[in-house]
């Protein structure tokens, strides 16, 4: 088994390699003067079971291209099996046509990954679970909800708390967390007013005098979270929200929105590398990914990790 990584999140790849007791494979991932990706493997991979750890995080297109050229280089170098470990799957929010005459980009990216030569993909918290069906290769879809549950238990944050889903799409993950913690659940009803804008219309469930534990997959601009906290406080919830999200994309006014007076703390995982933590708590997904890689390599079940 060999592990390789691009430039998207080398720190996470090194942690995964550490848990597996393996060094990262030698490779050169650079840019030509015109911005094209240059990749050269520094060691033989002939017949090996190879895992490329590369989230397609911002800059999404650059990191996606690194992932694709890795597959081509490995295939041409006679690797035995080529596996993509993509902790954050970019383009996942474009999983359907919201209006006419637009692409389903998540399907296109799935096709690109498959055609490039990957035999399997391991990922965490897809924005739309049905994206698994866009692939004709095995997809191991891991979830970070257990990491959040363990954090809440460890920090003693269960008292007078309620798990909140920011929308109907994340209700299943919120239900998982509420079951793990033995807490009630509520949900925010929202409607989309633009490609990146939403409006929270009302709160479903009893949140009065409770501390909201908001669980989401992606925080991009943070606008939905800010408006959700406003709606929860108006419904009687305590202004002490705990925001937990798997993928900290954090663009535009995200950090400003997350500094909302009603948010007590923010917890992310390390699927996307952050230049500045800004006081956020970061939970590592490296143990989870390492267990999944080991299970796949030894032909064991991955279901126990989900």
Classified as helix, coil or strand, 211 is strand
Burial 73-109 (b: 16+ CB within 10 A, else e): bbbeeebebbbbbbbbbbbbbbbeeeeeeeeeebbeb
158 catalytic per annotation:
no
Tally the residues of the chain: 306
Active-site residue identified among 190, 210, 211, 238: 190
Sheet of strand 211-219, all strands in order from the earlier edge strand to the far edge: 198-204, 185-192, 161-165, 211-219, 241-248, 263-269, 281-283
H or E element in which residue 120 lies = strand 120-124
How far apart (Å, rounded) are the C-alpha atoms in residues 182 and 120? 35
**Cα–Cα distances in angstroms (integers) from residue 121 to residues 32, 48, 142, 152, 290, in the given order:** 28, 16, 11, 29, 14
Contact 118, 84 (CB under 8 A): yes
Q: Is 205 exposed, middle or buried (0-12, 13-18, 19+ CB in 10 A)?
A: middle
Active site residues: 190
């Amino acid at each position: 088994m060999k592990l390789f990584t691009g430039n998207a999140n080398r720190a996470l790849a090194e942690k995964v390699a550490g848990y597996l007791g393996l060094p990262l494979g030698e490779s050169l991932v650079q840019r030509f003067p015109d911005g094209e990706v240059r990749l050269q493997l520094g060691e033989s991979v002939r017949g090996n079971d190879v895992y490329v750890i590369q989230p397609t995080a911002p800059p999404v297109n650059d990191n996606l291209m690194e992932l694709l050229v890795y597959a081509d280089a490995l295939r041409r170098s006679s690797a035995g099996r080529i596996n993509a470990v993509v902790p954050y799957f970019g383009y996942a929010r474009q999983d359907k046509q919201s209006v006419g005459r637009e692409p389903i980009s998540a399907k296109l990216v799935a096709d690109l990954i498959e055609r490039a030569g990957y035999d399997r993909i391991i990922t965490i918290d897809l924005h739309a679970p049905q994206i698994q069906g866009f692939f004709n290769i095995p997809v191991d879809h891991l979830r970070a909800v257990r990491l959040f549950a363990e954090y809440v238990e460890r920090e003693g944050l269960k008292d007078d708390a309620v798990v909140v889903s920011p929308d109907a799409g994340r209700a299943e993950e919120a239900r998982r967390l509420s079951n793990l913690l033995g807490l009630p659940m509520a949900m925010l009803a929202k409607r989309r007013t633009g490609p990146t804008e939403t409006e929270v219309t009302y709160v479903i469930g009893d949140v009065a005098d409770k501390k909201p534990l908001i669980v989401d997959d992606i925080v991009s601009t943070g606008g939905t979270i800010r408006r959700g906290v406003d709606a929860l406080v108006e419904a009687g919830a305590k202004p002490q929200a705990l925001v937990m999200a798997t993928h900290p994309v954090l663009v535009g006014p995200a950090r400003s929105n997350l500094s909302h007076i009603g948010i007590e703390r923010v917890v992310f995982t390390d699927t996307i590398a952050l230049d500045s933590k800004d006081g956020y708590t970061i939970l590592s997904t490296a143990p989870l990914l390492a267990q999944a890689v080991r299970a796949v390599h030894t032909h064991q079940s991955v279901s126990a990790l989900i």
